[in-house]
């Protein structure tokens, strides 16, 4: 009866109210009926909320009334801070948004932000992330020259960067937290304080707890493409990476996947992992490309 009254009252308002009110109520009614979950956007390295205005516009156009929050934390030069420090800050910003809804939230995390989101969810055992959408993120690491790398390490080439990154000092810079030199495997496993434990490449006290938290994700969307130009190899965005010969080994053949070290194999076996590979998109254009949004993101934001 209450539902019938609510519908009748809403119908009366839509019929009798001025046109602007009709629009407002239509948006409200659509968002209520469709049950759009809040969307949280986490930026990548050397950018911030301003770069995601187009993406927020796409979301509001296709899902009217959706609450979209682009977190303004550790942006621009602050994005170079160590990732565990950033995880602590983003976790405290994300937690209250999650707690405000019983239906869960969607996370869209770009580039380095994808690794931050994974760290947040690993250390937030009660999270309610429905969809985790990782937009061109170096999930298995980075090993390649790029404008970002040359900007901060102009005197290093990729084959020698491990001399700095695999030190205590180097691990205080975000890029080094996921620098994965396939020719320096032992040094990487010994020195990596972020990516190696996050991917279950080394055993640690939180392995089981982090795995359990990862498995709370309902849908994991992996987005990337061969023309990215920054993430190297680009397959890292879909959990592929180089072996010692710099031949890309796909996700399903990675050792940590086969061991199901952090739950990725389980999610994939349940059909919860979606790969969306799009050619012709440069790294800085993923979040403003409407084709990417329409084909890879939109359907998961309900």
Which residues carry out catalysis?
A: 111, 228, 283
Specify which residues 221 forms β-bridges with: 133, 274
Q: In sequence order, which residues have a C-beta less than 8 Å from that of residue 30 and are 6 or more positions away?
A: 64, 65
Q: What share of the chain is helix, strand, coil (3-state, %, to 5)?
A: 50, 10, 40
How are beta strands 129-135 and 219-224 bridged, if at all? Answer: parallel
Handedness of CA 166, 173, 132, 47 (dihedral sign): negative
Compute the distance between CA of residue 55 and CA of residue 52 in angstroms, rounded to an integer: 5
- Rounded CA gap, 292 and 224, in Å? 10
Question: What does the alpha-carbon distance between residue 48 and residue 55 come to, in Å, rounded to a whole number?
Answer: 13
Tell me how many degrees the CA angle 223-212-67 measures, rounded to the nearest 5: 50
Place of tokens 């680009």: 234
C-alpha span between 101 and 279 (Å, rounded): 36
Cβ atoms within 10 A of the Cβ of 215, count?
14
Give a three-class secondary structure readout of 13-48. HHHHCCHHHHHHHHHHHHHHHHCCCCEEEECCCCCC
């Amino acid at each position: 009866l209450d539902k019938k009254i609510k519908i009748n009252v809403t119908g009366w308002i839509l019929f009798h109210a001025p046109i602007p009110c009709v629009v407002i109520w239509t948006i409200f009614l659509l968002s209520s009926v469709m049950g759009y979950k809040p969307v949280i956007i986490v930026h990548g390295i050397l950018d911030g909320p301003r770069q995601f205005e187009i993406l927020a516009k796409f979301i509001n156009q296709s899902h009217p009334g959706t609450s979209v929050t682009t977190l303004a934390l550790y942006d621009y030069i602050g994005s170079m801070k160590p990732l565990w420090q950033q995880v602590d800050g983003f976790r405290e910003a994300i937690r209250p948004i999650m707690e405000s809804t019983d239906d869960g939230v969607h996370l869209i995390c770009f580039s380095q932000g994808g690794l931050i989101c994974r760290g947040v969810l690993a250390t937030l055992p009660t999270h309610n992330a429905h969809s985790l959408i990782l937009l061109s993120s170096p999930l298995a690491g980075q090993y390649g020259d790029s404008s970002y790398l040359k900007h901060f390490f102009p005197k290093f080439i990729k084959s020698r960067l491990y001399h700095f990154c695999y030190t205590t000092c180097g691990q205080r810079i975000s890029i080094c937290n996921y620098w994965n030199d396939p020719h320096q495997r032992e040094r990487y496993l010994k020195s990596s304080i972020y990516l190696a434990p996050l991917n279950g490449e080394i055993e640690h006290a939180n392995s089981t707890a982090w795995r359990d938290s990862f498995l709370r994700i309902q849908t994991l969307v992996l987005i990337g493409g061969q023309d990215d130009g920054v993430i190297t190899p680009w397959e890292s965005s879909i959990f592929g990476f180089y072996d010692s010969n710099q031949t890309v080994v796909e996700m399903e053949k990675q050792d940590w996947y086969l061991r199901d070290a952090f739950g990725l194999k389980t999610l994939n076996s349940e059909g919860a992992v979606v790969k969306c590979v799009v050619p012709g998109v440069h790294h800085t254009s993923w979040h403003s490309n409407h084709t990417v949004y329409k084909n890879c993101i939109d359907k998961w934001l309900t």
